[in-house]
């Protein structure tokens, strides 16, 4: 049995996975040395532009609300300084990439200046909640492989 990862280790794994995926696409990135709400800076070689990224990672899906259907969820600041947000599921090595304003638009909850975004991985989970998308399959268009060409021009 493997040792349980700490929150910091889960976060670092998420950052490294995002960096790895970007590098496979030819996009250079570098971590920030302090936690300012920006985890990575990525450089688009084709567009000659830099993008700031905040990475949020989950080790694996867990029961929504503690007892519900399997879901991934992430919390982040509504006023995050990062241009992009990368959401990571380490168990499947999936990465979704949103522009910050897209995440604000799609967040299922906004409370006390924090966004709560979640994806049900269990297809039997109830449909839309308060008119918002909630299933993993509804966000396939935000998968890194789909978004990278649009954002980084690769």
Query: pLDDT by residue (tens digit) across 10-53?
Result: 999 999 999 999 999 999 999 998 878 999 999 999 999 999 99
Rounded to two decimals, the pTM is 0.91
Per-residue pLDDT, 130:
64
The C-alpha atoms of residue 98 and residue 82 are separated, in whole angstroms, by 11
Stretch 120-147: mean pLDDT? 79
Domain ranges of the chain: 7-152
Q: Pick the residue with more confidence: 36 or 141?
A: 141
pLDDT tens digit string along 58-102? 999 988 777 888 889 999 999 999 999 999 999 999 999 999 999
Q: How many CA atoms lie within 13 A of 111 on its CB side?
A: 5
Burial class (CB in 10 A: 0-12, 13-18, 19+), 149: exposed
Determine the CATH number of domain 7-152. Answer: 3.40.1350.10
Helix H or strand E encompassing 49 = strand 49-58
């Amino acid at each position: 049995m493997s040792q349980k990862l700490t929150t910091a280790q889960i976060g670092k794994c998420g950052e490294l996975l995002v960096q790895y995926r970007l590098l496979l696409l030819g996009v250079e990135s570098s971590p920030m040395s302090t936690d300012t709400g920006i985890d990575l800076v990525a450089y688009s070689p084709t567009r000659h532009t830099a993008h700031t990224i905040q990475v949020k990672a989950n080790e694996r899906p867990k029961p929504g609300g503690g007892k519900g259907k399997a879901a991934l969820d992430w919390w982040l600041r509504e006023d995050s300084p990062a241009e992009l947000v990368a959401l990571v599921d380490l168990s499947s090595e999936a990465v979704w990439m949103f522009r910050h304003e897209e995440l604000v638009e799609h967040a299922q909850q906004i409370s006390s200046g924090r966004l709560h975004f979640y994806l049900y991985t269990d297809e039997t989970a109830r449909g839309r909640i308060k008119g918002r998308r909630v299933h993993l399959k509804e966000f396939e268009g935000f998968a890194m492989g789909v978004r990278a060409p649009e954002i980084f021009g690769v």
